[in-house]
Chain A
Amino acid sequence: MAVAADAGALPSTSTADRQRIFVASQWQLTWWRFRKHRVAVASAIVVAGFYLVVPGADFLACSDPSASEAQRSLMPPQLIHWFDEGRLRPHVYGLKGARDPKTFKRVYQPDPSQKIPIRFFAQGFEYRFLGLFPMSRHLIGVDPGRDASTTIFLLGTDVQGRDLWSRLMYGTRISLTIGLLGVTMSLVLGVVLGGLSGFYGGILDTVIQRIIEILRSIPTIPLWMGLAAALPRDWTILQVYFAITIIISLLGWTELARVIRGRFLALREEDFVVSARLVGCSRMRTIFVHMVPSFMSHIIAATTLALPAMIISETALSFLGLGLRPPAISWGVLLQQAQNVQTVAISPWLMLPAVPVIVAVMAFNFLGDGLRDAADPYGR
């Protein structure tokens, strides 16, 4: 991309600035370069926003994600009206539900006479913030004590009358942490096997490379499906969560291992590595004190680029009903409701969980691209 190509050229050429470049650490140089890549910086902000949802899901949710109510099945999203009689007073219209006499489906009409004011930092269902502090404040909500028809559904409700917005918040928490955990496990496998392969070379290298080639030439989804289907049905959500993470990372480490091996091969014969060896550094010291820091930024970039694949894998598996299963909530579990085109045609908001998937995947891709360009000292 054009932005990326320009990113390398550090702007000023005055002597003072040049000296600043000469003494800057590698991290500083990387950061300066990264800053120039505007799309990547914007993506970094988006990604940070996504990860804020992980601890804040309970706070951002309006209502209990598993509270179902048949009377509120498949309600459309309620638009926020910001002004009331010329003053800033955010509110939503109440929805009147009735049965269509012909189709027997519940249809909802907004009722402008019934204004439900939105309260910020409102009281709502109880939760434990970060799993520790009991709290009941939520970012937005409605006055407590009113009857069930006056709730707020920013993104509508699902078949069982559960608030889609709140469920999306909890789903984000699960989907993003699965991606992060999966990529961490892949990273461990990738660093160990890629490192062994690149540092020692020889037969070990050949064997590991062949294993990688074999794993990469196997279609992954059927295998994942097979492994995921074998998980016992009576496992708890937590057990399934970790099992899915392991299954995804078992097949996902190959790309990371390839990158790391490449860096090891490139560095092995560098002067500073040879001298470290000659002055008698142990192998471990050579690797972790001298070699790893010099390609740490590459690892971070490769890890960022591997994350979207993890997120898509979890979403795909859960979408098929083989990954996380209700009552667990993830993006894939939410999208399961959108599997049937007839349902979606009547209630298109059920497809909304696809939006965060696509945005997150794009943001991670741009961020990873930016990091990779910034981390490469020989780039233009």
Chain B
Amino acid sequence: MLAYIGRRALLAVFTVWAISMLAFAIIQLPPGDYVTSYIAQMASMGSVVTDEEAQNLRIQYGLGQPIYVQYWKWMKQIGDGNFGFSMEWRRPVTEVIGERLWLTVVVAVSALLLTWVLALPIGIYSAVRQYSIGDYTATFVGFIGLAVPNFLLALVLLYLGFTMFNAHIGGLFSPELQDAPWSWARVWDLLKHLPIPALILGLAGTAQQIRIMRANLLDELGKPYVVTARSKGLPETRVIVKYPVRMALNPFASTIGYTLPYIVSGSIIVSLVLGLPTVGPLLLRALISQDMFLAGTIVLLLGIMTVIGTLISDIVLVWIDPRIRLEDT
């Protein structure tokens, strides 16, 4: 078991390393460098950067050095908790991102939780009452959920809310609490706003999980041990919940690894449509204005967040499935 977790942790470290390289590539890709965009920015504000100053800046940021040296320096900076400086906001990147990162985590985690809360009972119901009206409804809604890209779903819900209830369903806070310091009122406000984004983000995952849960449970329900349990006189609920459901639960944990990146990805674009104060809109603005340190940091942090989530799901999987624990170590 320890060996298994160790292997997954090692892979997680490799993944973080790969993501850091990709994030660095994003910082490096656009033509020009930090200083050229700085000079352009200063020029647009009416001040001039002399060649000497530019040269000093380049030396200070180590921009003339080979790529791998620059990458190493960036990594070392991050080790000290310094993610660089946002050109557009004229503040350190960490300050700009601030609580937005945590709100992204909150939105993603609640979407994931909602996926389970919805998919588990619906999946069980669909399998136990196969070919019932409820089963067909779940299958149909599932197909819609898989086929409609989440940003379009957000757009449609926003439109319906606007025309039918004349309410703006976007955002994570009411306007009066937008910039207020944290308080119980603000937390409650956040909880009230969360369901809609969570539902939009979680729908595709829910649809997929329902299908997996239904298929797995149907396989298990036909097995002899279920018949044995039933013939021994166990109540039906207990027969189903105690044994086959437990067996069919596995994919719930093992697919987090694929569901989480998907949700995080989706949260970027859905945040833009719904105007959620997550890192999504920040990333888009940073990319368009070539505020590369901010953009690279966001990509890196999102990646790390996903990897940690996946690692947790691996550990949960070991915990609920004894077969992995006993596997050759």
User: What is the size, in residues, of chain A's interface with B at 8 Å between Cβ atoms?
Assistant: 42
Contact of B18 among A214, A362, A365 (CB under 8 A): A214
Contact of A216 among B131, B258, B284 (CB under 8 A): B258
Contact of A219 among B30, B147, B156, B302 (CB under 8 A): B302
Question: B269, A226: Cβ atoms under 8 Å?
Answer: no
Which residues, 333 to 380 on A, are CB-close (under 8 Å) to B?
A: 335, 338-339, 341-342, 344-345, 348, 351, 354, 357-358, 361-362, 365
Q: Contacts A216-B258, A229-B287, A320-B284: A222 and B29 contacting too (C-beta < 8 A)?
A: no
Chain A binder among B67-75, B158-166, B176-184: B158-166
Tell me which residues across on chain B come within 8 A of A320, comparing CB atoms: 269, 272, 284
Q: Does A25 have its Cβ within 8 Å of any Cβ on chain B?
A: no
Tell me which residues across on chain A come within 8 A of B298, comparing CB atoms: 222
Interface residues on B, range: 35 or more
Contact of B155 among A1, A220, A232, A344 (CB under 8 A): A344
Closest partner residue, chain A, to B295 (CB atom): A226
Question: A225, B11: Cβ atoms under 8 Å?
Answer: no
Nearest-Cβ distance from residue A133 to partner chain B, whole angstroms: 37
Question: B287, A225: Cβ atoms under 8 Å?
Answer: yes
Question: A344, B159: Cβ atoms under 8 Å?
Answer: yes
Question: A223, B148: Cβ atoms under 8 Å?
Answer: no
Q: Does B15 have its Cβ within 8 Å of any Cβ on chain A?
A: yes
Q: Does A315 have its Cβ within 8 Å of any Cβ on chain B?
A: yes
List 18 A–B pairs whose Cβ atoms lie within 8 Å, in order of A's numbering: A1-B139, A216-B257, A217-B257, A217-B310, A218-B15, A218-B303, A219-B261, A219-B268, A220-B265, A226-B295, A226-B299, A227-B26, A319-B151, A320-B272, A339-B273, A341-B155, A351-B156, A362-B143
Point out residues on A near B: beta carbons under 8 Å: 1-2, 210, 213-214, 216-223, 225-227, 229-230, 232, 308, 312, 315-316, 319-322, 335, 338-339, 341-342, 344-345, 348, 351, 354, 357-358, 361-362, 365
Point out residues on B near A: beta carbons under 8 Å: 11, 14-15, 18-19, 22-23, 26, 29-31, 131, 139, 143, 146-149, 151-152, 155-156, 158-159, 162-163, 168, 170, 257-258, 261-262, 264-266, 268-269, 272-273, 283-284, 287-288, 290, 295-296, 298-299, 302-303, 306-307, 310
